[in-house]
């Protein structure tokens, strides 16, 4: 699943390509579960609501994309496992997994040759339409925790000290902190030398400060390298990320630790897998 850096790259790509454009036509081939329309629209169809609206803002909240449209409407997108946007030439063959296609009113030469596609081969992605005044009150957004690139060191330490739970599941909990997933959680804990089963309340303030620093450092580095591609992720321009070349522990089960040479292990913690070095990241 795309995490904060990957979603941030998608948001930036959308800003570069479709911000300010007016949607002329929407072509849908998505399953009903992929498209959600607020009851506030009184049964109107997704395409009829969105057509002729101008894209005013494109923002990220955690792993969510919020596209503000004219008329006080917001398109809320979650990419889930394999969803992605592609701004491409209309002459490119339509893929069977291109579930939504957005055509735009002509403002320049590019508008007549390109459109935006939402592709999702696993079909878990969601596109939801709400009035802007109600969207942030929805389940999936209202409970989100602080942004990891915005939370201060002291706020992060207090966040961890105020709860006593295993650190890996805590960092994955979007109501605890929004935007992290397995990749950046495993990497941050590794560089901080914290075992993923350690309880947040038992981790020293010094270690938590170190963890906060590594989280922000790794997220920023990944963003600068266009994210991590370990499955199907690509940016709006179709290019894959490059941060996977710098992963130290994630998806490295059975390989030697780059610090001590001990074999990296993978264990299920809670309902998710964790990759770590049992020597560098001791549980006690």
**Which of the residues 3, 6, 8, 187 is marked catalytic?**
3
Structure tokens at 101: 């296609």
Q: Is 206 an active-site residue?
A: no
Q: Are 99 and 116 in contact (CB under 8 A)?
A: no
d(CA 191, CA 194): 8
Structure tokens at 258: 């780059």
Locate tokens 């906060």: which residue? 212
Locate tokens 């959600």: which residue? 36
Residue 23: strand, helix, or coil: strand
**Which of the residues 12, 161, 207, 272 is marked catalytic?**
272
First to last CA, the chain: 31
d(CA 44, CA 29): 17
Q: Is 154 an active-site residue?
A: no
**Which of the residues 6, 21, 60, 63 is marked catalytic?**
63
Q: Is 272 an active-site residue?
A: yes
* Beta-carbon contacts of residue 97 (< 8 Å; ≥ 6 apart): 119, 120, 121, 123
Residues catalogued as catalytic = 2-3, 63, 272
């Amino acid at each position: 699943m795309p995490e904060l850096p990957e979603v941030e790259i998608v948001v930036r790509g959308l800003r570069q390509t479709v911000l300010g454009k007016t949607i002329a036509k929407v072509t849908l081939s998505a399953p009903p579960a992929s498209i959600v329309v607020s009851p506030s629209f009184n049964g109107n169809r997704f395409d009829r609501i969105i057509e002729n609206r101008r894209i005013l803002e494109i923002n990220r909240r955690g792993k969510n994309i919020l596209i503000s449209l004219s008329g006080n409407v917001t398109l809320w997108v979650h990419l889930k496992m394999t969803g992605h946007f592609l701004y491409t030439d209309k002459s490119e063959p339509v893929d069977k997994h291109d579930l939504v296609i957005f055509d735009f009113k002509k403002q320049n030469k590019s508008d007549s040759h390109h459109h935006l596609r939402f592709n999702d081969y696993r079909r878990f992605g969601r596109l939801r339409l709400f009035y802007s005044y109600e969207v942030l009150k929805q389940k999936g957004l209202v409970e989100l925790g602080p942004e990891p690139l915005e939370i201060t060191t002291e706020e992060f330490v207090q966040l961890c000290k105020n709860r006593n739970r295993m650190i890996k599941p805590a960092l994955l909990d979007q109501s605890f902190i929004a935007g992290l997933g397995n990749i950046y959680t495993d990497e941050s804990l590794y560089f901080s030398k914290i075992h993923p089963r350690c309880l947040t309340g038992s981790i020293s303030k010094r270690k938590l400060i170190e963890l906060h620093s590594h989280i922000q450092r790794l997220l920023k580095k990944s963003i600068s390298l266009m994210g991590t591609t370990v499955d199907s992720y690509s940016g709006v321009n179709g290019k894959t990320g490059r941060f996977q070349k710098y992963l130290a522990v994630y998806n490295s089960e059975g390989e030697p630790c780059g610090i001590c040479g001990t074999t990296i292990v993978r264990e299920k913690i809670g309902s998710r897998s964790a990759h770590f070095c049992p020597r560098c990241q001791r549980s006690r």
